[in-house]
Structure 1
């Protein structure tokens, strides 16, 4: 629980994002032009005031209020979004709007309140903004995790780098954790599932993508993932990857890539994935195949070519032809010898 509180406390951070030709990059030497402070209600569970960690009652309306201050003399327009936490492929929990949804969720934080609203601030103005959450009448198991995500819709001038002028856009994330009792999350049994294995691309590299799902309304971290891919019915490892410190959001899934620096070869393979952590041990084994057309498409996308190799039937034909040629040579030599002795 202490680690979870630390994660949520770290959420109220301002992130500078530079926008250049539609791509997001980090911008340096910039600062947000507004501040955000949660207005903590009485049903807050901890003494930390930088995020909402609330015990809520079924069938009630729970207000989440932020005090937002415009630190400039010019009007500003902010976009406030209610978001649901999800797990990224790098093993970190993320809170951006419109994240991937997992079908295992009975409820999502975004189901309970207004998805977005605009916050208009005059110069120097402080305004309290509220998002009202309607808690299901029957309550919910475990925890709902997400955030209030504010973005300054006005882009400010940033640094000039390489002759390109950066435009900076700032976002502030305030964590939200809801449960119906202090022990609601502890009562949920931790579980992981392997829902898919296939060839794919991650971080610009080809490899095998294992989709891991947390189908439970709870979250935890400090996971170690050890994966190896072998040819079917062989112990020779063709790909492997081990990572530490992965986290997983409630009712979410992530793609764990076992990647390589060369082109994919089609064939029949086996995945062995071991996940260990403070809440359990999960060992998955799965057979899968990579079709030739699938491998070719992936290799073209990453601009890689397979090393040339003959198919098995070509080697069979070569073997038959070699045997035939050897038989012909032996036959001709014997006939030649018989002709000389005649």
Structure 2
């Protein structure tokens, strides 16, 4: 047994050593270094945070270097900052729809080359061309400059007996913030318009029933350290049906996201009228006037607070739709149950019919010939009429008997 184990280990080591072209899963194929310009507000950060007047243009320089042993192609694009469903700012997701309050989209302001091709060890300085809106604005225009090595996507995997190929995609994001001036959004505007409730509706997340509360940040500034307490009630009732508490979220300027409250595994949506109540807080501060406590934690002070109350309806159509597609709900297959019941009923009727026919046949009279022995031991054949049931009984007990007519 020990010899087999040693042999197996030796074989495994030999196979691993003999493999060629093994790609390292964590291998970085390129590096990105922003050249910070003079109009950078904070030169200590590793992303762009620029002060640029309205109507002005500027070219930003970014050095991109190929750190791999192969020729690579890098795809670049600019994406507006948005807020994803986890309450996190996303600089790379084009699938998230832009908010209606977004007046200036950084995707229209900043332009970048689409593809950068670099030979082994080569570096290039690329230009990001900025064209500021003609109107002056207060606040931020924000997004991300994205770089993605698409070389591996263009290659076709060829499997060799003595090699293993692993395709690894490497991407990089560089923040880009632009403003006309450093004047912050007023405290009054933040408290009055810093967070809005746009909608409450039944929905699904990852094929699980949820109630979506859509929050909107309509201002051109980041909403930091966002905390939310949300509860769902039956309309006119006081018992909490569903609730969710979250802290340390962040919203991008002029964005919205769905704050989803899970109904619970296996719990069905029930049609009816409901009420949503929520309290939201932003910006932790020792001097903040709004106190909030989450679960067993101590009270914390926030600078801003918003309260929301909204009724909404779950229709029967929506409930059926979402319940049918919720993977945690045990589905009742009524069609299968109906088929089983029909088959069972037909089988029962067949058995009953068989028993009735058998009973009828047993009562029928038949004429039989039966051989009997007299006192002297001689065989005598007699004919008589008996029921079919009696005939079966005699036949099964060894009597020499035969049916001659029915």
Q: TM-score range by the shorter chain?
A: 0.7 to 0.9
Q: CA deviation at 1:89?
A: 1.1
Report which of the two structures shows the higher radius of gyration computed on alpha carbons. 2
Match for residue 274 of structure 2?
A: 269
Relative to the length of structure 1, the TM-score reads 0.75
**Is 1:38 matched up with 2:34?**
yes
**Is 1:174 matched up with 2:179?**
no
CA contact (8 A) 1:143 1:185 kept: no
Aligned residues: 277
Inter-partner Cα distance in structure 2 for 1:75 and 1:31: 14
**Is 1:94 matched up with 2:85?**
no
Q: Deviations over 1:91-146 (max 9, x none)?
A: 11010152420110110111113266111112111101111010012232200111
Aligned equivalent of 1:104, options 101, 113, 116 = 101
Give the alignment of 1:235-250 within 5 angstroms: 235-250=238-253
Q: CA deviation at 1:60?
A: 0.9
Q: CA deviation at 1:59?
A: 1.1
Match for residue 60 of structure 2?
A: 64
Q: CA deviation at 1:200?
A: 0.5
Match for residue 323 of structure 2?
A: 299
Q: Deviations over 1:155-190 (max 9, x none)?
A: 2899xxxxx986321110011111111224567822
Inter-partner Cα distance in structure 2 for 1:252 and 1:28: 38
CA contact (8 A) 2:76 2:115 kept: yes
- Residues 277/168 of structure 1: CA separation in 2 closer, same or farther (3 Å cut): same
CA contact (8 A) 1:224 1:243 kept: yes
Secondary structure of the 2:170 match is: strand
CA contact (8 A) 2:78 2:110 kept: yes
Name whichever structure is richer in helix by fraction: 2
Structure 1: 5+ residue runs without aligned partners? 1-26, 159-163, 309-342
Where has structure 1 moved over 6 Å in runs of 4 or more? Answer: none
- Residues 294/172 of structure 1: CA separation in 2 closer, same or farther (3 Å cut): same
Aligned equivalent of 1:82, options 62, 78, 82 = 78
Higher relative contact order (CA 8 A, sep 6+): 1
Structure 2: 5+ residue runs without aligned partners? 1-22, 158-163, 284-302, 333-406
Aligned equivalent of 1:283, options 307, 310, 314 = 307
Aligned equivalent of 2:261, options 258, 272, 276 = 258
Secondary structure of the 1:189 match is: helix
